[in-house]
Amino acid sequence: MTAVSSGKRAGDRQKRGFRPVLLVLAVGITLCVVAWGYLVYAAIDFGSAARHDDEPSAWWFLAIAAVGAVACLFLGFMLVARFARALGLTSAPAPKPRRDPSVPKGGKRAAR
């Protein structure tokens, strides 16, 4: 008896297996979110200390914690985008079309 390979979904199936890249991305996303949460909490704490205790150094720590939180959130979003690309949920943007060498460079105004 032979295998039947006709119909709508008769094409080759993608192999499903362990992909270490997905694990690394998932761990990276988790670490970024945890670091972001901690830095937001620290920024709130430093802001409270700066306002109530009138400590000038607390303002610097607040600024550093806020910038670090922004950086962690940005990195986390970038890792989520790579994770979605690795899963196949998104695709790469279409490449820009190449310039036709026979067309003069610069357009109509440069051709005058």
Task: Return the percentage of the chain with pLDDT > 70, whole number.
Answer: 81
Q: Please state the pTM of the whole predicted model.
A: 0.69
pLDDT digits (tens, 9 = 90+) for 69-78: 999 999 999 9
> Which whole number is the average pLDDT over 88-110?
80
Share the mean pLDDT of the chain. Answer: 85
Task: Return the percentage of the chain with pLDDT > 90, whole number.
Answer: 46
Q: Is 10 a residue whose pLDDT tops 90?
A: no
pLDDT digits (tens, 9 = 90+) for 25-59: 999 999 999 999 999 999 999 999 888 887 788 89
> Which whole number is the average pLDDT over 61-84?
96
> Which whole number is the average pLDDT over 71-91?
94
As to burial, measured by CB atoms within 10 angstroms (0-12 exposed, 13-18 middle, 19+ buried), residue 32 is buried
Q: Is 99 a residue whose pLDDT tops 70?
A: yes
